[in-house]
Amino acid sequence: MSADTAILAALATPLIGGLLILLTGSIPNLREAVTLVTAAVLFLIVASITPTVLAGDRPEVTLLQMLPGLDITFRVEPLGMLFGLIASGLWIINSIYSIGYMRGNDEGHQTRFYFFFAVALSSAVGVAFSGNMLTLFVCYEVLTLSTYPLVTHHGDANSLRSGRIYMGILLGTSIGLLLFGMVWTWHVAGTLNFTQGGILEGKADETITVALLFLYMFGIGKAALMPIHRWLPAAMVAPTPVSALLHAVAVVKAGAFTVVKVIVYIFGVDFLADTGATEWLMIVAAATLLIASVVAMRKDNLKARLAYSTISQLSYIVLGAALVTGTAIIGAGMHLAMHAMGKITLFFCAGAIYTAAHKTEISQLNGIGRTMPITMGAFAIASLSIIGIPPLGGSWSKFQLMLGAAEGDHLVYVFVYAASSLLSAAYLVPIIARAFLLPPEAKSAGAAAAHEGGIQEAPLPCLIALCTTAVGAIALFFYADAIAALLAPITGPITG
């Protein structure tokens, strides 16, 4: 299979899988098998493109012309390759996890759940492989719409309210600001193709550049810059597999990825560095980074704390991109992968705790490490990766980002990154400490089990999934070089 057809296959596979899921909905075992096979096939297809991209080729396929001069085009470049690999690879693990979680909690409407999940993955891959801003926008919107039924899965008043916030912010910002910025870019530059070195240099004056950057950065609601971050905590009403894959990886990373992509391929790193148009963005990102960390500390609900942690970590990436130095951009790209692996593990653990012990609040977790040692062990590993302690993946991207900040003479942001690491330690370590060091509360169900010395873990598929990603977080420490090498060309010289 050539790389060009592989792109189309990668987009079509989850959709076909989704249809099969609908058809096999009455036989749960077959349906889950379809999901797993689809995820595996998708990952293999995406992986098959990797050597081509590593070799320096940029496989490209144009589907059709949507507007005169504007095509629906897919073109794989290193950043998209990385995002595609992350999303499709983690989908396999997440599917295994979903089976354990959805059955363990007797969730309803599982066919609908798996179907929209597949559609969301297809659009996430579409975002990753987009060859121009229009294609990306289309996939971005499909991603929003296809995740709405997942967020509101329970259909109660609470999910209705959260669904409103979710749709309101994501659709509002993308139609109100991103679309605006995109048409404006088209008007100014006459193209929307992602081009090495950007398309705006020499065409947009300083005012327009700043205005466009504003429209893009706040238009990409999925990157959750403050003050448009509210949708992410709201989305936590969804079943945990959704929070894990979509709201720690696919959806939010689609946002952060789009930010990096726009800065690198629409504005151009050099152009932005020359104009200094990103100064304000650095401040906003740094503020989001710190404020979200502080808010996370005050959240007792485990998923809410993780959500605010995600907001904070997304701003790492946005800040990295805003620094507009080569090193920082590579660091931002690496952080996409590192944070994905760490955060998905944390969510898996949160879901496992809920499935096994029906606990959602951190204050209830005293001593849970005794009944769920594997889960909490994985939680500890992933936490350390998020904090950025070697030998875990998160340390490399943080190091790279700090290096990038220093390179750009933005010493203050080196401190911001450092301070944020401390803050993330402050909101994650207490959970681990509570789980392992504090005695269980006498009257809780877990306590009874602990007295009997029994282990009460989540269903096996959940455990397999969270262990895999925890090991992945360690493995990434050793493969960080490979990611950096993959990403190296994006800030390189303009080769066309």
Q: How many residues bind other proteins (CB under 8 A)?
A: 31
Q: Does 5 bind other proteins (CB under 8 A)?
A: no
Q: Does 429 bind other proteins (CB under 8 A)?
A: no
The smaller minimum CB distance to other proteins, of residues 220 and 296, is found at 220
In whole angstroms, the minimum distance from the beta carbon of 116 to other proteins comes to 13
The smaller minimum CB distance to other proteins, of residues 182 and 307, is found at 182
Q: What share of the chain is helix, strand, coil (3-state, %, to 5)?
A: 75, 5, 20
The smaller minimum CB distance to other proteins, of residues 3 and 170, is found at 170
In whole angstroms, the minimum distance from the beta carbon of 63 to other proteins comes to 9
Residue type, 332: A
The smaller minimum CB distance to other proteins, of residues 68 and 493, is found at 68
Q: Can you give the length of the chain in residues?
A: 496
The smaller minimum CB distance to other proteins, of residues 161 and 358, is found at 161
Instruction: Give yes or no for a contact between 333 and 79, defined as CB atoms under 8 angstroms apart.
Output: yes
In whole angstroms, the minimum distance from the beta carbon of 207 to other proteins comes to 11
Helix (H) or strand (E) holding 144: helix 133-151
Task: Report CA 396 to chain centroid distance, whole Å.
Answer: 18
Question: Among 33, 32, 40, 31, which residue's Cα sits nearest to residue 13?
Answer: 40
Q: Does 287 bind other proteins (CB under 8 A)?
A: no
Residues 432-461 that bind other proteins (CB under 8 A): none
Greatest alpha-carbon pair distance for the chain in Å reads 72
Task: Using CB atoms within 10 Å of the CB of residue 269, give its burial: 0 to 12 exposed, 13 to 18 middle, 19+ buried.
Answer: buried
Task: Report CA 349 to chain centroid distance, whole Å.
Answer: 17
Q: Does 145 bind other proteins (CB under 8 A)?
A: yes
Task: Using CB atoms within 10 Å of the CB of residue 422, give its burial: 0 to 12 exposed, 13 to 18 middle, 19+ buried.
Answer: exposed
Q: Does 413 bind other proteins (CB under 8 A)?
A: no
Q: Does 209 bind other proteins (CB under 8 A)?
A: no
Q: Does 363 bind other proteins (CB under 8 A)?
A: no
DSSP state of 74: E
The smaller minimum CB distance to other proteins, of residues 33 and 179, is found at 179
Q: Which stretch binds other proteins (CB under 8 A): 136-144, 237-245, 342-350, 365-373?
A: 136-144
In whole angstroms, the minimum distance from the beta carbon of 192 to other proteins comes to 11
In whole angstroms, the minimum distance from the beta carbon of 315 to other proteins comes to 25
In whole angstroms, the minimum distance from the beta carbon of 161 to other proteins comes to 10
Residue choice 8, 47, 183, 291 for contact with other proteins (CB under 8 A): 183
Q: Does 214 bind other proteins (CB under 8 A)?
A: no
* Separation of alpha carbons 7 and 12, rounded Å: 9
The smaller minimum CB distance to other proteins, of residues 138 and 406, is found at 138
Residues facing 280 on adjacent strands? none
Residue choice 65, 206, 300, 411 for contact with other proteins (CB under 8 A): 65
Site string for other proteins, 10-49 (x = CB under 8 A): ----------------------------------------
* Separation of alpha carbons 329 and 289, rounded Å: 17
Q: Does 207 bind other proteins (CB under 8 A)?
A: no
Residue type, 130: S
End-to-end CA distance of the chain: 25
Site string for other proteins, 151-180 (x = CB under 8 A): -x--x----x--xx--xx--xx--xxx-xx
Taking the CA atoms of residue 106, residue 350, residue 154 and residue 124 in that order, the dihedral angle to the nearest 10 degrees is -110
The smaller minimum CB distance to other proteins, of residues 119 and 323, is found at 119
Instruction: Give yes or no for a contact between 386 and 423, defined as CB atoms under 8 angstroms apart.
Output: no
The smaller minimum CB distance to other proteins, of residues 164 and 358, is found at 164
The smaller minimum CB distance to other proteins, of residues 2 and 65, is found at 65
* Separation of alpha carbons 316 and 332, rounded Å: 7
Q: Does 137 bind other proteins (CB under 8 A)?
A: yes
Question: Among 341, 305, 371, 373, which residue's Cα sits nearest to residue 470?
Answer: 341
Residues facing 361 on adjacent strands? 301
The smaller minimum CB distance to other proteins, of residues 5 and 65, is found at 65
Residue type, 435: A
In whole angstroms, the minimum distance from the beta carbon of 322 to other proteins comes to 23
Instruction: Give yes or no for a contact between 64 and 81, defined as CB atoms under 8 angstroms apart.
Output: no
Q: Does 294 bind other proteins (CB under 8 A)?
A: no
Q: Does 54 bind other proteins (CB under 8 A)?
A: no
Q: Does 130 bind other proteins (CB under 8 A)?
A: no
Residue choice 23, 66, 411, 437 for contact with other proteins (CB under 8 A): 66
Helix (H, G, I), strand (E, B) or coil at 73: strand
Joined tokens for residue 393: 């993946």
Residue choice 1, 67, 455, 488 for contact with other proteins (CB under 8 A): 67
Q: Does 71 bind other proteins (CB under 8 A)?
A: no
* Separation of alpha carbons 458 and 352, rounded Å: 5
3-state secondary structure 175-238: HHHHHHHHHHHHHHHCCCECCCCCCCCCCCCHHHHHHHHHHHHHHCHHHCCCCCCCHHHHHHHC
Residues 186-205 that bind other proteins (CB under 8 A): 186-187
Residues of the shown chain interacting with other proteins in the complex, contacts defined by CB under 8 A: 64-68, 72, 134, 137-138, 141-142, 145, 152, 155, 160, 163-164, 167-168, 171-172, 175-177, 179-180, 183-184, 186-187, 211
